[in-house]
Structure 1
Amino acid sequence: MNNSTALSWRDDNRSVTISLGDLEIATYTYDATDEQRESPRPFFHPLRTTAGEIVSIYRPWDHVWHKGIAWSLPHFGDDNFWGGPSYRRGQDYKWLPNNGSMRHERVVDAGLDGGTFRFTHALSWWTEDGKKVVDEIRGIRIIPGQDGNSWTLVFETDMTNVSGRDIQIGSPTTEGRENAGYGGLFWRGPREFAGGRIAGPGGATGEALRGTRGPWLAFVGQHDDSCRFSTVLIADDAANAQHPPEWFARSEPFACFGPAPFFSEEVTFADGATMVNRYAVVIADGDSNQDRLVNLAADAADVLRHQPVKATA
């Protein structure tokens, strides 16, 4: 463990856990061992606010392939790196032998740097039938908020297509399911957040925001037991190719949302090309009115502009 700043961390050779003072605020499992049908891949869980409230869930019974916050792509050519059944035009969801996995290869860099935590690792993506299709370098940073009531996760993925062919990346919507374009950096909230508030730029709220474009989106939920509120906000990097992205979001029957860069249009991932996507996730204690959300989003955008993420592989 390293204790040179208010942040500290430990690594058990499968996951890293980051603490702010005495509170464990995030665990990133970088070497996942979930079942093949769940598309094993790295994920963040549990995630806690500075007040200690958990704002993520792992393997909920209704969708056991949902994992806290994870980079997940359900329509990667014919392969599924999301988990669960695959949607096929005119056939609804079908269980297919196509659930791929993202395998941890090596840690590139980890440590504390100027009051933030950094972690970079190399991954390879494998189809269920054993073909390697992607080499990835992934970097994260965790940055305490200056207000003492929030912290920010910066997430960057650099994926290189090594499959030997172009790959079309889409979603259930590009396959024919209306307004179901999920895929990308996806957050699944705790059970008690069902019925919570989805909020976006300009004061818009509710599930009508699903499928709309914007630079950020947020979810405010209330916890059982303590009855406290917490806020999760995700900001898209202005340099991302599909910026501003369409968003997938739900508050019923469960809480989830995330930027969905392949929501309504397939994107060609050319053989040999590298695709970069970068986001800031703000975990904030308490309820958030529109003014606070705008300020959190502005701070997240500033972090994305000025905070380096990953080390060179």
Structure 2
Amino acid sequence: MNQPPCREWLRWAIDAIEGDHSRSADTHLVRVDLAGLDGVDIYFKDESTHPSGSLKHRLARSLFLYGLCNGWIGKGTTIVEASSGSTAISEAYFARLLRLPFVAVVPPGTAQAKLAEIERLGGRCHIADSADIYTTAQQVARETGGRYMDQFTFAERATDWRGNNNIAESIFAQMMLEPHPVPHWIVVGAGTGGTSATIGRYVRYRPHSIGCARMAVVDPEGSVFAESWRTGRRDLVSDQRSRIEGIGRPRVEPSFQREVIDRMIEVPDAQSFAAARFLSDRLGRRVGPSTGTNLIGVLQLAREMIAIGEQGSIVSLICDGGDRYADTLFDDAWLRQTFADWDAAGDVLAGL
């Protein structure tokens, strides 16, 4: 019996996404040697090498499969997302793969390089009149008859945290032959909360990591996640927008799961930018600001381990490449204009 046309298209769409995944190699786990941290091995999983250039490639793939299998996405469906850039770029990639229209609703001030990349992939950018990109995205979806993907709600449930090619499973597989195969800490930022939820659940699920691996989330200025983690409040809001694109939110997103997080570390923005510049120089290629935020958290935990005589490993992420931030992170004039204390921002990196 022939399948109905909608099922035929669904099978084609899932096969297209799975075929794209099969053509893509896993991301590398890069060991970073830093002076003064003897006994603590530091690794960064390089998510910038995904076809769409960032960690959000994994999320976008999961969101599309989730939407397809829930019957929310069909042939010709307009895909709409609220995003400051990286998720929109990754969703534009998959929308083009499935030959679907894509609209990214972005806040004012989103990096021009990110807007250009969305458009290069065939998407359309809709700049919201205010910081309330959620309501605007819902309105655009209604007007187009499309599907609002709502990464902030579905990030923690679209990915199979038990281990279906997710980032946590990949980290533990790649660490297997290292001197300290079970990390003492895994350090990530939170944008939607999906990555921290996936990793936090996985380390509780896998018997080799229970009681050993711990989940730390770094949070930039202007974000309410750290305060929510401390207090348990989910009604917190802020009128600030994070300078660290991709992480930090002015509200507690539905996908943020505080119970699976062992530690929150608040990081000053100037230190995040300084650390991203430092790591870019050390690696010989540019990384984005959120990777700098991760590095500051890694250093704090490593120094705490050394202070009490612990040895082990810490794993974090290179979230995206730095070429998208040429007019901010890699613009010396912008940094000095933005941060009055820029000259002292790198003090925490001294001696490395």
Fold-level similarity (TM above 0.5): no
- Greater percentage in helix: 2
Q: Which has the larger radius of gyration?
A: 2
- Greater percentage in strand: 1
TM-score by length of 1: 0.29
